[in-house]
Every structure is written in C-alpha cells, then in structure tokens.
Structure 1
Amino acid sequence: MKIHYAFIFLLISTVMFSQEDAWVYFNAKPSAQTYLNSPLLMLSQRAIERRTNQNIALNFTDAPLETTYVNQVKASTGITVMAKSKWLNALHIRGTQININALKAFAFVDEVVFANKSLNLTGKKVSQSAVSQTENKLETTVNYNYGTSANQIQMLNGQVLHQQNYTGSGKIIAVMDGGFPGVNTAQPFQKLRDNNQILGGYNYVARNADFYTGDSHGTLVLSTMGGYKENQLVGTAPDSSYYLFITEDNASEGPVEESLWVEAAEKADSLGVDIITTSLGYFGEFTKPEYNHTYSDMDGKTNFISRGAEIAFSKGIIVVASAGNEGGKTEKHIGGPADAVSVIAVGSVTSTKVKSYFSSIGPSYDGRIKPDVMAQGSAAVISDTSGNIVTSDGTSFSCPIMAGMIACLWQAFPEKTNQEIRNMVIQSSDKYLTPDNNYGYGIPNFGTSLTVNSFVNDDFVVYPNPADTYITFSSSTEIHSAYVIIYSILGQKVLDKKISNQDSNLSVESLKSGLYFYTLDADGLHKTGKIIKQ
C-alpha cells in the first residue's frame, strides 16, 4: 500500500515539478502601428531598402512583441523565457505543465503549444517507433588530407562568376551555427578581418556578444565561403560580409534551439542581411525523446524553425539549409528548416557528382521535391580553427558552398528579387526537367545563370574574357554546329574546334598569355572578336 501511495505521489510530482518547453502565442500587438509608422525604430535602413527593392510591404510581423505581454509572462510563477519571436508573435518558455497552462488565463494569450505533443489536447501524439535517428547537429569528421578547393567551385561553374569579379561583394550573409572559434585568429580568415567583413554577431545560447567560442562547426562552415589561403583554399564568396550567430547549444539538444534560430533570423533581417545559411537541421535525437519530430512534421509548416525560415524568405532573404546527413540511416529524410517550401535545401555529392551516401533524401512529407539542389559535401576543402586546410564530409559544407555562390550571383543581378534568384539557381540545375528524391533538381550551373540572364537581349557572347583555362560561346540563337578559329595577332591560326549547344567550350590552356582574335561561323551566323588569354 505504501508503494502504491508513493507511486501516486511520484506521478503527481512529475506533473507538478518537471520542466517542460512550450510556446505561448499572443493574439495582438497593440503598439504595432507606432512601429509601422516609424520603421527605423525596428529595422535598419538596409533592411528597409531590401524590402523596397523587392516591393515587400511592412506588416504586423515586423513589429516587436508587446512589451507588457512579455513582462507579464516573465513575472508569472515558475516561468522562464528562453527565446522570443516577433514574426510568430510568441515566446519560447520553460516551466511546469501547471504553470505553463496557467498562462492561458491571460486575455492576450492566443494559445499554448507544448514541445511534447502528447501534452497538447489536440496535438499529435509522438510515436516512439517513428522517432528519427537523426541528429540536429550535423556531425562531421575531418580528414587531414591536403586538397584544393577548385573542384567544389568549378563543379558549380562558379569560376565564371569569380572571373567576372562577382565574388559576393556588397552582399551580407548570416551564418547560424554552433560556434566560431579561431575566426578571430586563424590565417584563412585574415582577409575577412583585415577588410572588416565580419560585421558582428551574437551568442544566443549564452546571451552575450562572444561568438568566437563554442563548437568549431561554424568555423569550418564559414571557411567554405569566406576563407582564403593562397593556392589552397578560396571560399565561394570571399568578398561578402558576414554576421555570425550561435544558436546551437552544444550542451543539450532541444526545441529551444529552433526558437533561438528564429530569433537570430529576425535579428539578421533587421540588420539587412541578404542570405541566411544554416548547416543545422532538426528532426530527432533531442535530449528529451518526447520532443523529437517525426517525418509527418516535415511538411514545411509545422516546425517552429521552418515557419520562421519561410517568414525570412517573405522578407526578401534567401535561406539556404543543409539537407542533412541521414542518408545512411533508417530515417533518411530531410529535417527542418530544409523542409520549408522556399528554403533552398542543399544535398551533397562527391567530387565526381555522385550523391554522397550520407546525404538526406526527399520528398518533404507533403510530397514536394527535396533536397532542392546539390553541391560537393564529400571531401569538401575547409579550414580548421588553427588555419590548417583539410577536408571534411557533410551537407554542412555543401550548404555554405552553395550559399556563397548564390551571393555572387545576386551581386551580378542586384535588381532581382530573392524569388527570382532562387528560380535562376534551380532552373540552371542539371536535373531541372527530371528531378528526383535523391538529387532534387541537381547541380546548378552558375555560369549558365550568369550568361543566360546577362545577355538575354544580346545575340552572342564569349565568356570569361579575359580567360585562363577555357572560353564559352553563347548565343540567343540555337547553334546546332559551329566552327571556331582562334588567330594570333599576326594572323596565324593557333586553335580551331567545332562547337554546339551541347559542347560550347574551347580550351585555351595551351595558349600563351596575350591578345587573340576569333571567328565563329554557323548557319546564318558569323561573329568575330577579341579574347585575352591570362
């Protein structure tokens, strides 16, 4: 009998005293109009200009949370506020089930949603048998092999952008990750430091300004975009500027990290960031298994982080996310925020364009193509915290490699909206007409994106010019077959080749540096011009 009473007491104690995570959603923002009338109270000039350039109107979600509401929740018995979101008009809170439910008595509370779905009266139960085996921190293993970063750029034909001086200049990328130790000291980040390209950051986990700490994962990620070490590593966006945000708590895994991510995304938006890249994904393996997501949550509108990512896109930001490293596990599907409709989810391929065994697959639970695109994530060339150039595996790296190239493309087309840039990337991909659940739309061709869109009103273009290894001939008129001849300045023929739409490249590696002339002849088309061999 004593055991029976003890058991009842234990159950009561568990309900009364165990700490739960939940979101409390508000139903209004009484002060919203004040902020909408004076946008600079809530957004930087750059953030306002990004909206103006893309014809995006300010709305209710831009206004801050109502301070009086927040203060009343903070003052409530047993409640700790862990994160806040103006976009979703919500607080992430922690407390006992009883204390959290007591918040429903406030007239300004719209609803309370527990992270443990079984505690929501109308929520879905967590099926333990369906819980994913994924981890929200995308694990990586460093291989100490010397490598060159050329392949991960050339696979995307990104060198065409770089050769035209589109290297991300003028674009700002926010990196959401677990930490950035060494970015303030290691040599491959010296160029960023010397040119003041690290604009700032914040540690949302520790709630302080020290972001050069934490897990080294963010350092490795940043190196694929902003790293530079001559003849060893060139990032995909070496001239972009960066904000560094720590949202991943390395001490535990839980839904609060999703809320911290959204809070950081809101800050990035207010600062005028153009692109958010995140090599984090959330599915399962939370410290409390009852908080785990299931595949049915991967519909782009259920996970808190995915909803936040979608709002970020609505503000004119491009959001790029790792697809995940779960391709070799029982539950192989992409997690959040990669499942969001507008997020560019990036899977991984090897150096030879074969899907990496670990790369998570699609579709989203509601049947959409995911991942969206692919880039090299196997043996990606990175810098570690000490400045050593090494290789590592993971969609953690294919994601920022892609994000950096997108920054370069957007620099080339500053008048384009985020939706238009997203479309350009996907439509240039090699499986665009035949997407699947392993590769998505495939590997983008940023060279094609540049030329097709730059010269849409021109009938003919030769790029890159000056050239180092090859030149490409592009025409608005379909070329079934053409004959190209390259002449020296003395009129001597030094190269010739037949080209077509399927093979429009001509290698110039054998030529010495200098000025050359070309002729191109096809049915109804005769072109001449100059090229410079670097």
Structure 2
Amino acid sequence: MKKQLFILFLILSANCYAQEDAWVYFNDKPDAEYYLANPLEMLSQRALDRRTNQGIALDELDVPIHEDYVSQTDAASGITVIAKSKWLNAVHVRGTIEDISALTSLSFVQSIEFADKTINTPGRPAVSARTSTVNNKLDVQENYDYGMSTSQIDMLNGQVLHQQDYTGEGMIIAVMDSGFPGVDTAQPFQNLFDNNLILGGYNFVDGSNDIYTADNHGTYVLSTMGGFVEGALVGTAPNASYYLFITEDTSSENPVEESYWVEAAEVADSLGVDVINTSLGYYNYDNPNYNYPYESVNGQTAFMTRGADIAFSRGMIVVISAGNNGNNADPYIEIPADAFNVLTVGSVSYDEARSYFSSIGPTGDGRIKPDVMAQGSAAIFAKPDGTITFGNGTSFSSPITAGLVTCLWQAFPEKTNTEIMDLVKGSADRFTNPDFEYGYGIPDFAFALNELTVKEVAKTDFILYPNPANDVINIAFPDDFGQASITIYNSLGQVVINETITEESFLSIKELTKGIYSYIIQSENKTKSGKLIKE
C-alpha cells in the first residue's frame, strides 16, 4: 500500500501473520423492497434530488446492508467485523484463515475474498507485486488577491470561475483523508467556520466524531480548496461546504483502509455530496501478500476501486491523486486512481512540465491515466498552525482540481457528472493527443465555462465569448436575431467601443488595455449586459 503523504516511509515486511483480512460478500438484502419504497430511510432529500436531476434511478445498491447478517458474522467464532459496505454488500473481517473460511457455512454468505490473493487461489503462483521505497506525503464578483497561490489557480484559468461568482457556493465536497488537526482553530479555515461551511464528518479509523485530529495531511489538502487568506492562499472552492472523513490510518498499512473509504463514500452519497476528493493511493501493505500486482490495477479488481466507480454511478464526481511514484522503478498509478470513472490528477510544476514524482500510466489493462494535470510542485497550502507554505505531491494537484470542478458544476447544476467530467477533459491542452505521462493535459476551466455557456445560453440570449479574451471576441445571437449593437465601457464609464455587429462577425478588442470592462448588447427588442475581461 502507498499513502499519498509527504514523508518518506519504508515498506515493512513480515514473515507470518496470525490474523488475516478478508471481505465477506452476502447473497441478498432482505429489506430491499421496504427501503426502495421509502427512500428517505436510506438517502437524504438532497441525495435524492441529485439522482433525479441526473436521471439516476434508485436500485438495490442503495439499500443498507442487512444488519442481522452483519451481527451474525461478527458473532462467529474468532471473527471481528471492522467495516461494512452496502454498495458491495460485504463486510471487512479479521480472523484466522480457518475462522474466516468457516463463514461459508452461513446461509447468507455468497463468497469470501481474502486480501492475501494466494489464499483465494491455492496452488497458483504468486504474481510479483510492486515494492519500493516511496515518497508518500507529499458577472465579475470576486477578484481575489491569490498571493502565492496565484500560479496553481491561474494555470487552470480557475480565476475566471471565481470572477463570475462561481466559488463553490451551494455545492458540497467530501474530503477523505488521514486527519484534519487545526482546521477548527487555524486562521486559513476561519472563513469556513464563520459561514458554517464545515457540515460535519466522521473518523472511521477510530470510530468517533473526532475529525480534528490525527495526521496533518487532510488539513493540507483541505486548505488548497477551502483555505482563505487574502493575499496569501485562496482555495479553489472557498465557498463550498465540506464533509471531512478520516479513512486513512497512518499507523499501519492495511486494506481495511479501502473499506473505510468505501464506507465513507456511501455516507457522502447519502448526505448529498457532489464531489469527493481523495489524495490517497494504495498498492503495498504491511503484509506483502496483500500487495497489488501491476496487472490488477485494472479498474475492476480492488475493493476501493470498485467502490469509487459505484460512487460515480450514484451521481457524484470522484477526484483522485495519481500518486507520487513517478521516479520509482515502478512509476505507475495505484488504486483507486485506476477506476474507470474517476478523474485522476497528476502533477506539473509552475512551468507546466510534469513533476518528476507524478505517477504515470497506463493502467494494468492499458488505459490512459492520469486523466488531467495540475500544479503539485511547490503548491501552496496551510499547516495546522495556520502557516502558509509550499510542498510537493499529487496530493495537492488533486484537490486544486476538485475545487474547480465543483465551481464549474455550480455554474451548470443541471449537467450530469458525466457531462462535467467530459467537459473538463475536453478542455485540456492535450485532449487530441493524450499520453501516459500527462493524460489529456492541463484543463482550462475558462474554456469549459465558455463552452457550456455558449451552448446553453445562445439559444435564447446573446452571449459574448471567449471571456476572458485576448484580441478577438465573438457574440452568439439568439434564434431569429441577425443584427445588434455592442457598446463597451471602461471602469470610468467611458465608451471605448460602439459598433454594429451581426451573427457572422467578430469584434477586435486588440487596442484595449488589460482590465475589466462593461458591455451592453442591444437589438430592436432585446438587451444583454455583462462584464468583459481583457487579458
């Protein structure tokens, strides 16, 4: 297993383990009919609304796991149930091989999958897994002074979303990580608390509500999305709401953390979360028999990977860090970055060159990964004491991107998660020529915003694009309009351009100085006004 954290860990090994980990899968859900007839018993109204908006029907995956099955399994001799998943209808157990195998005598048990793959397939030669020393921790409304964080936002043209007042308001992000100390006290997070934007969370590792504890990594990650210190650090979604979930246990390397993550994703779904960020990745564990061989990083093997794809099928967007293996002998992504429907994010430096540590593709089954890239070298973040500093890791490039994905979705809430994901990838600078190091490249959220705006608005309204613009702008006309006039004003209210335009024409703004302008488009019986940004 590998955790995307900053400090250097050594992969530990052991010769024998008295206790084994396994997933026990159940046959059915006896209460399915009741829950499907009473959906508010299993999902919040916000979650149901998200499904309705995207045309996603409820199904048996949404039904809670049958608690009597869980309790009977837990009561079996020598067995401890550590986590459970309704999506996969399974529990994560610990016990001896003999005690776990004996669970097949329970009538409701369908199958058992040991984390040690050699137990599942006796006599089959073990596939050599990757082992290495890994570097683990790694209308114009808002004109923020981003300070040191300018590069990581401007690279993705995220400032344009903010300038159009898309800062995450009304959207919910779930952060699955290793701990959030200082988030309740440090100044960079004060804006979240002043505006009641921390909605709650849970510590799955300790089984408690104490989320402002444990490892600092989650604090770092959250700060790149929700942090706000004018002139120093502005997160990519400073006005989004957040749930904070601890699923990563830094004291050990065990596949139960995959199960904690899936359980947290299920809770996030039930609460109506829109976007999940996970700056975590796994392939090596304390018990080397649990390690993932490269060919199993294929989008359909790992428990967590399968859970991530189900999360997408429920209507959420899952953003995952690619990993920090890029300079190792085995430089590839790990799970769950291999999932088919997650947005896997690699790292570049300020000059848009791939960071040496950023994990690459392909997946074990030959697919393009990562999907997109964002700044992860010398990224700006906040520590638990409020100090603003910089660090390296795809742990940063993922949340920087996740925040802007959230803001883009805020702009077009009627769009599905598939449409938003496709648009983000389609805006990237290598979309027509992807590769295994950069994926589809660096996304352009201004392009994505304009692309959707033109498509949605131009049918019934005038739309000026691109915005921001360099030398030329176009104006899309609504149906049945062929001619109009446009007047552009500077910040003093002075007219700098006044021209007649047609749908086939474009307008040069080359002579305008950089800045923010107002415009009015007028036809015989229709008027449109707004802001224009000249870059």
TM over 0.5: yes
Match of 2:407, as an amino acid? C
Q: Paired residues, what number?
A: 488
Structure-1 residue corresponding to 2:261: 261
Q: Do structure 1's residue 139 and structure 2's residue 142 form an aligned pair?
A: no
Q: Which residue of 1 aligns with 2:413?
A: 414
Query: Cα 1:85–1:487, aligned 2, differ >3 Å: closer, same or farther?
Result: closer
Compared CA separation, residues 405 and 102, structure 1 to 2 (3 A): same
Partner of 1:212: 212
Q: Kindly, what percent of the aligned residue pairs are identical?
A: 54
Partners of 1:434 and 1:505 in 2: how far apart? 31
Write out aligned runs for 1:382-461 (5 A): 382-456=381-455, 458=458, 460-461=463-464
Q: Following TM superposition, by how much is the alpha carbon of 1:126 offset from its aligned partner in structure 2, in angstroms?
A: 3.5
SS in 2 for 1:21: strand
Distance change (3 Å), C-alpha of 1:121 and 1:529: closer
- Equivalents in 1 of 2:113, 2:530: separation in Å? 66
C-alpha displacement of 1:509: 5.6
Structure 1 counterpart of 2:34: 34
Residue 264 of structure 2 aligns to which amino acid in structure 1? A
Aligned to 2:8: none
CA distance, structure 2, for counterparts of residue 162 and residue 256 of structure 1:
39
8 Å CA contact 1:147–1:391 kept in 2: the answer is no
**Structure 1 residues 312 and 124: CA distance shift in structure 2, 3 A:** farther
Task: Name the CA shift for 1:491/1:414 in 2 (closer, same or farther; >3 Å).
Answer: closer
Relative to structure 1, the CA distance from residue 362 to residue 123 in structure 2 (aligned partners, 3 Å threshold; closer, same or farther) is farther
Structure 2 contact 82–94 (Cα < 8 Å) conserved: yes
Question: What is the CA-CA distance between 1:131 and the residue it aligns to?
Answer: 2.3
Matched, 1:116 2:119: no
* Contact 1:161-1:409 at 8 Å conserved across structures: yes
SS of alignment partner, residue 201 of structure 1? strand
Alpha-carbon separation, structure 2, partners of 1:471 and 1:58 = 49
1:192-232 deviations in Å (ceiling 9; x for gaps): 01101000000000000000001000000000000000100
Q: Note closer, same or farther for the CA distance 1:125–1:261 as it changes in structure 2 (3 Å cut).
A: farther
For the structure 1 residues 98 and 448, does the alpha-carbon distance in structure 2 shift closer, same or farther, using more than 3 Å as the test?
A: same
CA contact (8 A) 2:487 2:495 kept: no
| In structure 2, distance between residues paired with 1:271 and 1:486 | 45
Q: Contact 1:451/1:474 (CA < 8 Å) preserved in 2?
A: no
1:272-330, CA deviations, whole angstroms, 9 ceiling, x for partnerless residues?
Answer: 1001100000112x111111111111110000000000000000000000000000001
Query: 2:171 — aligned with what?
Result: 171
C-alpha distance 421-329 of structure 1, shift in aligned 2 (>3 A): same
Q: Does the 8 Å contact 1:225/1:400 carry over to 2?
A: yes
SS at match of 2:237: coil
Report the counterpart of residue 376 of structure 1 in structure 2: 375
* Cα distance change, pair 471–401 in 1 and its aligned pair in 2 (3 A): farther
| Contact 2:20/2:97, CA 8 A, preserved across alignment | yes
Which residue in the other structure is 1:340 paired with? 339
The 4+ residue runs of structure 1 with deviation greater than 4 A are 122-125, 469-472, 474-477, 484-494, 503-511, 513-519, 528-534
CA distance in 1 between counterparts of 2:183 and 2:413 reads 29
What SS is found at the alignment partner of 1:414?
A: coil
Tell me the amino acid that sits aligned with residue 387 of structure 2.
Answer: N
TM normalised by structure 1 equals: 0.85
Take 2:29 and 2:184, find their aligned partners in 1: how far apart are those partners? 40
Q: Normalising to structure 2: TM-score of the pair?
A: 0.85
Deviations along 1:329-372, whole A, 9 cap, x unmatched?
01111111110000000000000110000000011111111000
The match for 2:480 is none
What is the match of residue 252 of structure 1? 252
> What stretches of structure 1 of length at least 5 have no aligned partner?
1-13, 141-145, 478-483, 495-500, 520-527
1:311 corresponds in structure 2 to 310
* Pair 62,124 (structure 1): closer, same or farther in 2 beyond 3 Å: farther
Residue by residue over 1:22-58, the C-alpha shift from the partner in whole angstroms, topping out at 9 and shown as x without a partner, is 0000011111111111011111111111111111111
Aligned to 2:75: 75
Is the CA contact (8 Å cut-off) linking 1:373 and 1:440 kept in structure 2? yes
- Partner amino acid, structure 1, of 2:100: I
Instruction: Give, in angstroms, the shift of residue 127 of structure 1.
Output: 3.0
- Looking at structure 2, the residues matched to 506 and 492 of structure 1 have their Cα atoms a distance apart, in angstroms, of 12
What secondary structure sits across from 1:112 in the alignment? Answer: strand
- Structure 2, unmatched stretches of 5+, are 1-14, 139-145, 478-485, 499-504, 523-527
SS at structure 2 position matched to 1:310: helix
Aligned to 1:330: 329
Counterpart for residue 55 of structure 2: 55
SS state at 2:148 partner: coil
Q: In 2, distance between residues paired with 1:299 and 1:411?
A: 32
Compared CA separation, residues 353 and 34, structure 1 to 2 (3 A): same
- Which residue matches 1:243? 243
Secondary structure, aligned partner of 1:375: strand
CA distance in 2, matches of 1:89, 1:191: 39
Q: Is the 8 A contact 2:487 2:519 kept in 1?
A: no
Residue 132 of structure 1 and its aligned partner are, at CA, apart by 3.4
Q: Which amino acid aligns with 2:104?
A: K
Q: How far apart, CA to CA, are the structure 2 residues paired with 1:507 and 1:217?
A: 47
SS in 2 for 1:399: helix
User: Which residue identity does 1:172 align to in structure 2?
Assistant: I
Instruction: Give, as a single letter, the amino acid of the residue that structure 1 aligns with 2:29.
Output: K
- Aligned-partner residue type, residue 321 of structure 2: S
